[in-house]
Amino acid sequence: MITVKNKLFNITTKNTSYICHVRDGKYVENLYYGKKITFPEGADTEAMVEPLREKFNNVYGNTIAAAGEDKNLTLDNLNTEFSYPAVGDYRITSMLLKADNTFSSRFYFKDSFLYEGLYKDSDLTKMPHARYYEETGKPWTLELIFEDEAAGLELRLIYTAFEDCDVITRRTVLINKRDSSVAVRKLASMQLDLPGKDYSLLTFDGLWTRERHLNEKKLISGTYVTESTVGTSSNRHNPFIMIKKNDAGEHAGDCYAFNLIYSGNHKEEVEVSEYGKIRLIQGINDWCFDMELKSGETFYTPEAVMTYSDLGLNGASANCHDFVNNHIIPEQFRGKERPILINNWEATYFDFNRRKLTGLAKDAAKLGIELFVLDDGWFGDRSDDTSSLGDWDVNEKKIGGPLKDLITEIKKEGMDFGIWVEPEMISEKSRLYEAHPDWAVKAPGREVYTGRNQMVLDYTREDVRDYIVDKLSKLLSDNDVSYVKWDMNRHISDAYSSGDCDSGIFYHRYVLGYYDVMDRLTKSFPHVLFEGCSSGGGRFDLGVLCYMPQIWTSDDTDPNERMMIQGGTSYGYPLSTMGAHVSASPNHQTLRHTSIDTRFQVATMGVLGYELDATRLTSLEKKTVKKQIEFYKQYRKLFQFGRFIRVKKDPNLEIWETVSADRDLAIALLYQAQSEPNQSDDILFAKGLEENATYKVTGRQIQISIKEFGNLINMVSPVNIKEEGVAQAMVNSLYAMDGEKEEYLVTGSMLMHAGIKLNSRFVGTGLGEGTRTMGDYSSRLYVIERMI
Ligand code: DGJ
């Protein structure tokens, strides 16, 4: 709900309030953002917010006084809704414009405009945006209108309140009403000023194969910047960030989360001012951004997302998850269970033929896998990563005939078919590059720098986009394809177009071009499930999710790494968005050995897939995988759409949980990174259950490879088994030991507050009945079912 009372704007959601008002006739002061505050019925709210107003009873030292009646007012110490230079506010600013040879702006409040529904010009922005459905309620939108009379510019701040998930979205719109151009050097989507400075900043950073690791920094004086300059949202710094009060934790305390519905260069800045206040700004990165906004033109910033929760980091994450599942994901995939796939990449890399593919598909189908994905290497003349990107024609020689026939063969096995593409790229060695060298992004007369031997296609150009849409449309209409993995494996470096795009706006226009292509394709092929990918999770953002309901979280499938990658990602994004695959051991990225159960159990917290050579699994492994898939299918809805909670987070032992909406069912994952001898035994806690309900807790039966015991196995084996010998390999392929069986009856309150003291662990002195063998990188799943 949003109410406007004279000059007071009160935006409320289920549990939060965001209040601002016009001060001194010109400025909009932010009065409050946090847990919902209420006013008595019929109260004079304008008078009642007096305690929330910043007091300026005297002028501080050498501050600049704001123009207006209040001679003591200094913008440097006022919480405002946006900011610009030259008015004595020396903090970071949300905009930087140059008109009439001056950087000075004077945007003063003019009017406000309130209506039900989304921002009325959402479609004109040409960017994806949040949506709503009947059951999530119709949002309200508030526009605050400011004018810089001297410059002839209008600025609109747009707020939309999504009550159901405690989210408020923001964006900024600049309208050039002057006769000449204005130079836009920076225009953020949102600014939030908060009183107090005892906050920590949480960012999600990394690189290829280690995306979105959580980094927490206690904020002290100064400015903190998180940004991407690679052209996409990047694997380096995700646009999702959080700030929390220093005393807040996972389950309680004040937390704010922010994100941007945008897939390009972004920037998040947080300043702790010398007056002890926080200013947070988020939007398109102003790095290499220099736009000429011509007379009569309008510039729209992407939609920014913010939420608050007093229920700690999990509370803020829950809001973000609901927002993504209910307002971002394409309508046709909302709440829709996703198939279990097998991807041939790590099974074959580029080295495949018809026999290998169908062999893999046959074995995968027998395991219960539902979708076969043909990865890189099926087109042009591509047998490694040095050629053919752009030549999206099937290499029939390699795949042994028309794609249609391969698909028919795979479908006969009972599986759907999916295909990999990387349509934003062009190889120097390609027919496309021979025909259109100017379609590659490169700077004139400068030596070309490649990444993974490839260049980026210039998506600012309409002819390039048309070519790609045509090529992919043909592929998708000629063939029965139900899934597309859309990859993007290099960053942009020389941001230059041979077309009509100025370099100062190249990065943004590139992103708009990408959205245009996605928009056209997803509208023409609404049934196709697109999975985003960019060298793994290099473009994991809300813009992508508006078209592609799931994203390949990382090329790193090592479960120990995935705890950090999926764990970090979980702060801002729900389980339904995270592709999580079981791959081979030793892992191809880290060479780490882990059990097939741990690989699976970590991958259950996401959208499950397999990325290994199923034809090379031992018969025991095949049995194990079959059981895994049956288990995942049984609880798929919970694994993809349950309420995800980080129950316990310590460096060596974590508990994650997913709980059904009705609290009747939950599954907890307990993960141990390294075994420590003679430690106190584990206690299983859960959250989000019904206090008084009775639950049955059952440990998922796992199997422990006899290899894990090395030569200790000879203590029990009637014949001597040599480590790494033929006998060990043989026994190991046929037989594994059953892990402990644990089952308990508890009340919700017992499990949430006291926890279950689990069976003792194996610590080197005997393997008794029910002992839990928990070595390095080990895990357990516990099914929690409501009985009464
Ligand atoms: C990078 C992706 O993340 C991988 O999964 C795989 O598709 C390769 N590209 C193929 O080139």
- φ, ψ of residue 783 in degrees (nearest 5): -90, 130
User: Do residues 202 and 241 touch, judged by C-beta distance below 8 A?
Assistant: yes
User: Do residues 695 and 786 touch, judged by C-beta distance below 8 A?
Assistant: yes
Q: 650-675 pLDDT, tens per residue?
A: 889 999 999 999 999 999 999 999 99
| Predicted local confidence at residue 706, as pLDDT | 81
Torsion, Cα 66 72 78 83, to 10 degrees, reads 10
Cα–ligand 1 centroid distance for 374 (angstroms): 11
How far apart (Å, rounded) are the C-alpha atoms in residues 640 and 658? 9
Q: Is 111 exposed, middle or buried (0-12, 13-18, 19+ CB in 10 A)?
A: exposed
Active site residues: 487, 555
Per cent of the chain over pLDDT 70 is 100
| Predicted local confidence at residue 168, as pLDDT | 98
| 66 Cβ contact partners less than 8 Å away, ≥ 6 residues apart | 24, 26, 27, 73, 74, 75, 78, 87, 88
Task: Report the nearest-CA residue for atom 9 of ligand 1.
Answer: 535
DSSP state of 662: T
Q: 590-649 pLDDT, tens per residue?
A: 999 999 999 999 999 999 999 999 999 999 999 999 999 999 999 999 999 999 999 999
Cα–ligand 1 centroid distance for 523 (angstroms): 25
| Predicted local confidence at residue 355, as pLDDT | 98
How far apart (Å, rounded) are the C-alpha atoms in residues 41 and 37? 13
Q: Cα–Cα distances in Å, from 536 out to 199, 261, 602?
A: 32, 19, 17
Cα–ligand 1 centroid distance for 596 (angstroms): 22
Q: What would the DSSP string read from start to end of 111-141? A: EEEEEESS-TTGGGGTS------GGG---EE
Asked if omega into 586 is within 30° of 0 (cis), the reply is: yes
> In 3D, which of 252, 226, 246 has the Cα closest to residue 313?
252
For the chain, what is the largest distance between any 2 Cα atoms, rounded to a whole number of angstroms?
Answer: 95
Q: Confidence class of residue 217 from pLDDT cuts 50, 70 and 90?
A: very high
How far apart (Å, rounded) are the C-alpha atoms in residues 315 and 687? 12
Decide if pLDDT at 342 tops 90: yes
Q: Ligand 1, closest atom to CA 611? A: 5
Measure CA 765 to chain center: 45
Task: Report the nearest-CA residue for atom 1 of ligand 1.
Answer: 535
Instruction: Give the amino acid at 771.
Output: T
Task: Report the nearest-CA residue for atom 11 of ligand 1.
Answer: 376
Q: Confidence class of residue 227 from pLDDT cuts 50, 70 and 90?
A: very high
Q: Ligand 1, closest atom to CA 533? A: 3
Q: Ligand 1, closest atom to CA 555? A: 3
How far apart (Å, rounded) are the C-alpha atoms in residues 285 and 306? 18
Determine which of 81-85, 231-235, 673-677 has the lowest per-residue pLDDT on average. Answer: 673-677
Q: 245-302 pLDDT, tens per residue?
A: 999 999 999 999 999 999 999 999 999 999 999 999 999 999 999 999 999 999 999 9
Q: Which of 209, 422, 552, 587 to mutate to test the pocket of ligand 1 (most atoms within 8 A of CB)?
A: 552
Decide if pLDDT at 453 tops 90: yes
CA angle 34, 321, 536 (to 5 degrees): 125
Task: Report the nearest-CA residue for atom 2 of ligand 1.
Answer: 535
Mean pLDDT over residues 563-579, rounded? 98
* Site of tokens 């926890």: 755
Per DSSP, the three-state class of 86 is coil
- Per-residue b/e over 554-568, b at no fewer than 16 CB within 10 Å? bbbbbbbbbbbbbbb
Q: Confidence class of residue 737 from pLDDT cuts 50, 70 and 90?
A: confident
How far apart (Å, rounded) are the C-alpha atoms in residues 50 and 70? 15
Decide if pLDDT at 564 tops 80: yes
Q: 83-141 pLDDT, tens per residue?
A: 999 999 999 999 999 999 999 999 999 999 999 999 999 999 999 999 999 999 999 99
Cα–ligand 1 centroid distance for 453 (angstroms): 14
Decide if pLDDT at 11 tops 80: yes
Cα–ligand 1 centroid distance for 532 (angstroms): 11
> In 3D, which of 571, 542, 538 has the Cα closest to residue 556?
538
Tokens of 45: 């709210």
| Predicted local confidence at residue 720, as pLDDT | 80
| Predicted local confidence at residue 768, as pLDDT | 81
| Predicted local confidence at residue 436, as pLDDT | 98
List, chain by chain if needed, residues with CB within 6 Å of any ligand 1 atom. Answer: 345, 375-376, 420, 487, 489, 533, 535-536, 552, 555
Cα–ligand 1 centroid distance for 376 (angstroms): 7
Q: Confidence class of residue 213 from pLDDT cuts 50, 70 and 90?
A: very high
Cα–ligand 1 centroid distance for 487 (angstroms): 7
How far apart (Å, rounded) are the C-alpha atoms in residues 252 and 314? 8
Q: Which of 349, 487, 557, 583 to mutate to test the pocket of ligand 1 (most atoms within 8 A of CB)?
A: 487
Decide if pLDDT at 10 tops 90: yes
> In 3D, which of 566, 565, 499 has the Cα closest to residue 209?
565
Mean pLDDT over residues 58-86, rounded? 93
Q: Ligand 1, closest atom to CA 534? A: 3
Q: Which of 534, 535, 553, 578 to mutate to test the pocket of ligand 1 (most atoms within 8 A of CB)?
A: 535
Cα–ligand 1 centroid distance for 210 (angstroms): 15
In the chain, the N- to C-terminal Cα span, in Å, equals: 38
Mean pLDDT over residues 551-558, rounded? 98
> In 3D, which of 561, 530, 563 has the Cα closest to residue 545?
530
User: Do residues 88 and 64 touch, judged by C-beta distance below 8 A?
Assistant: yes
Per DSSP, the three-state class of 26 is coil
Q: Ligand 1, closest atom to CA 375? A: 7
Tokens of 786: 């409501």
Task: Report the nearest-CA residue for atom 10 of ligand 1.
Answer: 376
Q: Which of 349, 555, 581 to mutate to test the pocket of ligand 1 (most atoms within 8 A of CB)?
A: 555
Q: Confidence class of residue 710 from pLDDT cuts 50, 70 and 90?
A: confident
Decide if pLDDT at 589 tops 80: yes
- Give the H or E element holding residue 517: helix 506-524
Decide if pLDDT at 788 tops 90: no
Report pTM.
0.97
